[in-house]
Amino acid sequence: MKNSKMHLSTETMNLGFVRKVEALSGSSVRRCFQCGKCSAGCPMRTFMEHPPNRIVRLLQLGQWERVLAGRSIWYCASCETCSTRCPNKVDLAAIMDALRKLSWDANGPSKESYVQLANRLFIENIKTYGRQYEMRLAAVFNIKSGQFMKDFLLGPKLLTKGKLKVFHQKNRNIGEIEQIFSRIEEMRKKGEAP
Amino acid sequence: MSRIGVFVCHCGENISRTVDVERVAEAAGHISGVAYATDYKYMCSDPGQGLLKKAVAEHKLDGLVVAACSPRMHEKTFRNAAKAAGLNPFLCEMANIREHCSWVHEDREEATAKAIDIVRLMVERVKKDKALQPITVPITKRALVIGGGIAGIQAALDIADCGHQVLLVEREPSIGGHMAQLSETFPTLDCSQCIMTPKMVDVANHPNIKLYTWSEIENVDGYIGNFQVTIRKKARSVDMDKCTGCGVCMAKCPQKKIKSKFDCGLGTRPAIYVPFPQAVPNAPVIDRENCTYFKSGKCGVCAKVCGPGAVDYDQQDELITEPVGAIVVATGFELYSIAEKPKGSSIKGYGEFGHGTIPDVIDGMTFERLASASGPTGGKILRPSDGREPKQVVFVQCVGSRAREKGISYCSKVCCMYTAKHTMLYKHKVHDGQAYVFFMDARTPGKSYDEFWRRAVEEEEAVYIRGMVSRLYQKGDKIVVMGSDVLVGVQVEIEADLVVLATAVQPRQGADSLAQKLGISYDTYNFYSEAHAKLKPVECATAGIYLAGACQGPKDIPDTVSQASAAAAKVMTLFAKDQLEREPIVARVNERNCVACFYCKKVCPYGAVEEKEIRDRQGNLVRVVAYVNPGVCGGCGTCQATCPSKSVELDGYTDEQVMAMIEAL
């Protein structure tokens, strides 16, 4: 996929997807003239198979599958260095956010990424406890991802420093948290929230 | 015994840092023939020049050596000072102890010794300097403009508006050139015809402009201020005085299927034709190669239908000789052809693009005709092969340009901008179409240019792909474009309906032979050379000849018009004087010694050497010798170095002077 030939035509270039990204992010994709400053300063560049500028380039050509297939968008740390330094006012951090959202919705090409799983468990914990319950997050993630011993040796360290609690602590105002979730759900139904 | 003054300059610290200037002045004082020597911090300053003038009067000096910078820098300054002091300016010479000494040496002792040597040489030269008087030549205040494109039109109008007569010579039947073929022009997208045709009419109506269309330059003789130009007025077969431009002949001509050169072969025209409806002059011309009458002697329809009887089959080429004082060369450009080129040509065709055999692979000018409201399709973008509207159009930049392998390594400058314009014109006419552009670099310097290109990308949604196309081939009714996006790093393939190649801008065919007639220089591509890339961008090295437009190098319309007006300004500067004054550093022929081998004539870059006949009182030819026309001579000395009989001497640089300088070392 990564190196295969691109056949460009009005059918193969999904410009509708690009418009969605532009609407979600509030930033132009076409405006980018590929100077590469975003990739030059990106702290996560070494982990990405498509550097940030190439993500935009692929978007310009409507190659949404190539963008979502990779893990690059999930490595983005949202540090916003790219957006701050872009000479052409392209808000790349917002574009990355939009791409992650669209990838999530598509529930497809980026499924191989554990980031989706981690994000889902994270939100579920918030929903249930009104705050994060790290022990459960780690345990469920390791089981579901099949990597049972992942980061296991980190546990004792975090425990002694008090960063990891064995038992969960529930938020006292869980009711309000629930309201927040239901409000977002309503907005989504009306199409006011992504 | 001469009385020479030597003036050594410190040039602030530029010279005194490495050269012991006081020692140089002292040593100069001991050279025989030197009556006075001194040094000063800034010799070129007002007090420095005052020092020089005072010394001339006090010490009755008859020659000056200023040991300072290069003569290119301040020779004029000090010669003017010498003139003000009452000396002939050509008795003042510069000894260059800055560029040739202090700036290039580090050792103070050695540099000082060298500076003394340089001063000694120049003292010997000044001893043999002769007082020279400036040369004056008369000026014919009439200009010739070669080429009736936008450059020639602009230059002709500017000179004519200044009150001088202009001859405008155009090779084609109408003026207008390439600009008349364009649809809309970047970066404002105004219609080319709308801004061009009024200027063409102005030329036709101007009382100071004499228009020679369907004419070529046959020969050029003479020199600045005094050229004799022979113009070949090709037989038009139509009497322009009688013709009313009614167009009946064109309508009735039975021969109608001739491909129109103006429409890049997309449309057709009759054998008696005007290239386009807005042509100036509006009188048609008979294409004798395709006319039935000229081929078989039968037909003659045009002569029969012509009311005023303007058609004249017996018209012959006419040679007209006109005197002019200045020449503006504005012969323009033509586009690189991707077709196979004959053997021996340094320019190669494009086999990988089908050598021009794929009908729907066209060049930029052809696209202009497709997009032009007055074009063969009435402004509809239709494929040449089947007349269908193309939905996927691929533009390829840098075809021929920046392609050393094909014989051209320069950038054609206009393609990036006109391709951006083409994508816009296409999008405006075919809303559901998609334009793709393969480019190596987008070069858009110029006022409002980059914004224009970005508009094509961001608003008109042209897809720009960085990378050159490798191959084009026909597949069914599509053209497969094989390219690559180097930003993504993958191959790209597009099945296009139409491919537009932005082919390189080249000089006109025959540009070299015209240059030889004019005696101007040209580069390896046949673009005409300016005298100095930065400081004399309009002048040729040959005095009195100026350049305008793309004949000098690829140029867009704003640059061309600017240069044309600049060339006109140069002509007007020349015409502002009644006589031309020139520096008298010119070569002279010793007629007694000259053996008439004319090697000097062959090597002279200015065309200044003529053959002079010496006759006795009865008018019998005694012998022929070389003669250097002082009005043309550039003072380079090439003839002096070449002459086998040592008969040519350059004033101020005679063999005697040079030998004296060498002996002084």
A2 in any annotated domain: no
Of A8, A30, A58, the CB nearest to B494: A8
Residue B428: both structure tokens together: 């405006």
Q: In the beta sheet, which residues pair with residue B169?
A: B146, B212
Chain A residues near residue B491 by CB distance under 8 angstroms? 5-6
Contacts of B487 in chain A (CB under 8 A): 34, 53-54, 57
Mean pLDDT of chain B: 94
Please name the residue that has the structure tokens 């000894």. Answer: B95
**Does residue B167 come out as left (phi exceeding 0), alpha (psi in the -120 to 50 range) or beta?**
beta
Domain count of the fold of chain A = 2
Choose one of A70, A104, A138: the last residue of a domain.
Answer: A104
Residues A20 and A54 in one domain: yes
**CA distances, B193 to each of B156, B387, B484 (Å):** 19, 25, 38
Nearest CA in chain B to A2: B490
The CATH number for B334-506, chosen from 3.40.50.1370, 3.40.50.1390, 3.50.50.60, 1.10.3370.10, is 3.50.50.60
- Asked whether residue A118 falls in the same domain as residue A100, the answer is no
Q: Taking CA atoms, what residue in A is nearest to B485?
A: A6
pLDDT given at position A88: 93
Tell whether A133 is covered by a domain: yes
| Average pLDDT rounded to a whole number, residues B608-636 | 91
d(CA B320, CA B317): 10
Cα separation, B632 vs B345, whole angstroms = 35
Q: What is the pLDDT of residue B136?
A: 86
Cα nearest neighbour of A55 on chain B: B488
HSE-CB for A29 with a 13 A CA cutoff: 29
Q: For residue A1, what pLDDT band results from cuts at 50, 70 and 90? A: low
Question: Please, are residues A127 and A87 in contact by the beta-carbon 8 Å criterion?
Answer: no
Whether A131 and chain B come into contact, CB under 8 Å, resolves to no
Question: What residues does each domain of chain B span?
Answer: 4-127, 142-332+528-575, 334-506, 583-664
Q: Mean pLDDT, to the nearest integer, of A152-178?
A: 87
- For residue A38, what is the domain's CATH number? 1.10.1060.10
- What pLDDT shows up at residue A108? 57
CATH numeric code, B4-127: 3.40.50.960
Whole-number Å distance between alpha carbons of A132 and A135: 9
Strand B478-485 relative to strand B490-496, pairing: antiparallel
CA angle B508, B511, B515 (to 5 degrees): 160
Mean pLDDT of B32-41: 95
A10 within some domain:
no
Model confidence pLDDT, tens digit, residues B263-295: 999 999 999 999 999 999 999 999 999 999 999
Q: Which of B391, B457, B492 sits opposite A8 (nearest CB)?
A: B492
Nearest to B458 among A2, A15, A28 (CB): A28
Q: Is the pLDDT of residue B60 over 60?
A: yes
> Cα separation of B505 and B501, whole Å?
12
A8: which chain B residues are within 8 Å (Cβ-Cβ)?
436, 463, 465, 492-494
Distance from CA of B392 to the nearest CA of A (A): 8
Report which of B463, B390, B395 is spatially closest to residue B432, judged by C-alpha positions: B390
DSSP B527: P
For A:149-168, CB contacts with B below 8 A are none
**Candidates B487, B490, B493; nearest CB to A34:** B487
Does residue A125 lie in a domain region?
yes
Burial (Cβ within 10 Å: 0-12, 13-18, ≥19) of residue B524: exposed
Give the span between the Cα atoms of A176 and A125, in whole angstroms. 15
Chain B residues close to A37, C-beta within 8 Å: none
- What is the rounded distance in angstroms from the CA atom of residue B168 to the CA atom of residue B205? 13
Neighbours of A181 (CB within 10 A): 12
Per-residue confidence band for B73, with pLDDT thresholds at 50, 70 and 90: confident
> Which pLDDT band, with edges at 50, 70 and 90, does A105 fall under?
confident
User: Of B360, B423, B424, nearest to B387 (Cα)?
Assistant: B360
Structure tokens belonging to residue B190 = 């105004």
Cβ–Cβ gap B488/A6 under 8 Å: yes
Whether the CB of A128 is below 8 Å from some CB of chain B: the reply is no
Say whether pLDDT at B607 is over 60.
yes
Q: Kindly state the average pLDDT of the residues B53-78.
A: 93
Among the partner residues A30, A54, A58, nearest to B458 by beta-carbon distance:
A30
Range of A66-75, A162-171, B424-433 with top mean pLDDT = B424-433
Q: How many CB pairs under 8 A join A and B?
A: 59
Q: Which residues pair with B505 in a beta bridge?
A: B335
Report the distance separating Cα B188 and Cα A36, nearest Å: 30
Q: Range with the lowest mean pLDDT among B38-47, B276-285, B441-450, B581-590?
A: B581-590
Question: Across the interface, do A9 and B463 touch by the CB < 8 Å criterion?
Answer: no
CA dist B29 to A183, B22, B79, B154, Å? Answer: 103, 11, 21, 59
Residue the block writes with tokens 């010669």: B79
Share of chain B above pLDDT 70, in %: 100
pLDDT in tens, B239-254: 999 999 999 999 999 9
Which of A104, A123, A155 marks a domain boundary?
Answer: A104
Place of tokens 């602009």: B154
Residue A127 lies in a domain: yes
From its phi and psi, is residue B523 left (phi > 0), alpha (psi between -120 and 50) or beta?
Answer: beta
| Residues A146, A175 within the same domain | yes
| Structural tokens at position B351 | 């086999």
State the first-to-last Cα distance of chain B, in angstroms, to the nearest integer.
20
A70 and A141, same domain (yes or no): no
Residue-wise pLDDT tens digits, B323-353: 999 999 999 999 999 998 777 777 888 999 9
Closest to B199 in 3D by CA, of B246, B165, B151: B151
Across residues B444-471, what is the average pLDDT?
A: 95
| Number of neighbouring beta carbons within 10 Å of residue A139 | 14
Residue A156 domain boundaries: 114-190
- Is residue B364 a contact partner of residue B501, using CB atoms and an 8 Å limit? yes
Q: Whole-angstrom Cα distance, residue B252 to residue B301?
A: 7
Token pair in block for residue B636:
């380079």
Nearest to A57 among B461, B488, B493 (CB): B488
**Shared domain check, A40 and A97:** yes
Q: Do B494 and A34 touch (CB under 8 A)?
A: no
CA nearest A5 in B: which residue?
B491
Contact A60 B490 (CB under 8 A): no
pLDDT top residue among B562 and B631: B562
What is the token pair recorded at A63? 């190659």
Set of chain B residues whose Cβ sits within 8 Å of the Cβ of A60:
463
pLDDT at A111 over 70: no
Q: What are the residues whose beta carbons fall under 8 Å from the beta carbon of A164, sequence distance 6 or more?
A: A134, A135, A138, A155, A158
Return the exposure string of B247-266: e unless at least 16 CB atoms fall within 10 Å of the residue's CB, then b: eebbeebebeebebebbbeb
Q: Please, are residues B281 and B242 in contact by the beta-carbon 8 Å criterion?
A: no
Answer whether B142-332+528-575 and B334-506 agree in fold. yes
Any B CB within 8 A of A46 CB: no
Predicted pLDDT of residue B435: 97
The Cα–Cα gap between B89 and B105 comes to: 31
Verify that A97 and A130 share a domain, yes or no.
Answer: no
Predicted local confidence at residue B541, as pLDDT: 86
Q: What is the DSSP string of B374-442?
A: TSTTTT----TTT-PPPSEEEEEEEESTTBGGGTB-S--SSHHHHHHHHHHHHHHH-TT-EEEEEES--
Which residue does chain A place closest to B462, by CA atoms? Answer: A30
Residue A70 has pLDDT above 90, yes or no: no
Whether residues A48 and A87 fall in one domain: yes
Amino acid at residue number B571: V
Q: Helices A15-25 and A92-106 meet at what angle, rounded to 10?
A: 120
Nearest neighbour of B488 by CB, restricted to A7, A30, A58: A58
Contact B488 A54 (CB under 8 A): yes
Residue A184 domain-assigned (yes or no): yes
pLDDT digits (tens, 9 = 90+) for B220-235: 988 889 999 999 999 9
Average pLDDT over residues A93-121: 79
Query: B142-332+528-575 adopts what CATH topology?
Result: FAD/NAD(P)-binding domain (3.50.50)
Tell me if B391 and A7 make a contact (CB, 8 A cut-off): no
Task: Map residue B552 onto helix, strand or coil.
Answer: coil
What pLDDT does residue B479 have? 97
The answer to whether residues B153 and B175 touch, using CB atoms and an 8 Å cutoff, is yes
Residue A58: its chain B contacts at CB < 8 A? 488
Using only the alpha carbons of chain B, give its radius of gyration: 31
Decide if domain B583-664 falls under CATH 3.40.1390.30.
no
DSSP state of B342: P
Whole-angstrom Cα Rg for chain A:
19
Residues with Cβ within 8 Å of A15's Cβ and at least 6 positions away in sequence, in order, are A62, B461
Residue in chain B nearest A61 by alpha carbon: B463
> Is A1 contained in some domain?
no
Q: How far apart are CA B571 and CA B163, in angstroms?
A: 12
Residue written as tokens 């038009």? B236
- CB of B540 closer than 8 Å to CB of B529: yes
* pLDDT over 90 at B599, yes or no: yes
Paired strand residues for B334: B506
Structure tokens at B301: 């329809």
Check whether B95 has a pLDDT greater than 90: yes
Helix (H) or strand (E) holding B292: helix B292-296
Q: Which residues of B touch A7 (CB under 8 A)?
A: 492-495
- Amino acid at the residue A180: I
What is the helix (H) or strand (E) element at residue A96, kind and residue range?
A: helix A92-106
In this structure, the number of other CB atoms found within 10 A of the CB of residue B126 comes to: 25
Does A173 share its domain with A153?
yes
**Quick one: average pLDDT of B129-148?**
93
Q: What tokens were used for B29? A: 């004082």
pLDDT of residue B347: 81
CB contact under 8 A, A5 and B492: yes
Contacts of B488 in chain A (CB under 8 A): 6, 54, 57-58, 61, 63
Q: DSSP letter at B232? A: E
Percentage of chain B beyond pLDDT 90 is 90
Closest among B500, B492, B473 to B396, alpha carbons compared: B500
- Residue from the list B487, B491, B493 with its beta carbon closest to the beta carbon of A54: B487
**Partner-chain contact B494 A28, CB within 8 Å:** no
A85–chain B Cβ distance below 8 A for any pair: no
A31: chain B residues, CB-CB within 8 Å: 454, 458
Distance CA A92, CA A28 (A): 9
Distance, CA of B172 to CA of B611 (rounded, Å) = 36
Which among B434, B465, B491 has the least Cβ separation from residue A5?
B491
Tokens of B43: 């010799």
Q: Which of residues 97-126 of A touch B (CB under 8 A)?
A: none
Q: Is the pLDDT of residue B477 over 70?
A: yes
Give A163 to chain B, closest Cα distance, Å: 43
The encoded tokens of residue B455 equal 């508009």
Q: Which residue has the higher pLDDT, B11 or B582?
A: B11
State how far the Cα of B173 lies from the Cα of B639, in Å rounded to an integer.
Answer: 43
- Beta strand ranges found along B486-628 (DSSP E): 490-496, 498-503, 505-507, 545-547, 579-582, 587-589, 609-615, 621-628
Q: How far is CA A74 from the centre of its chain?
A: 5
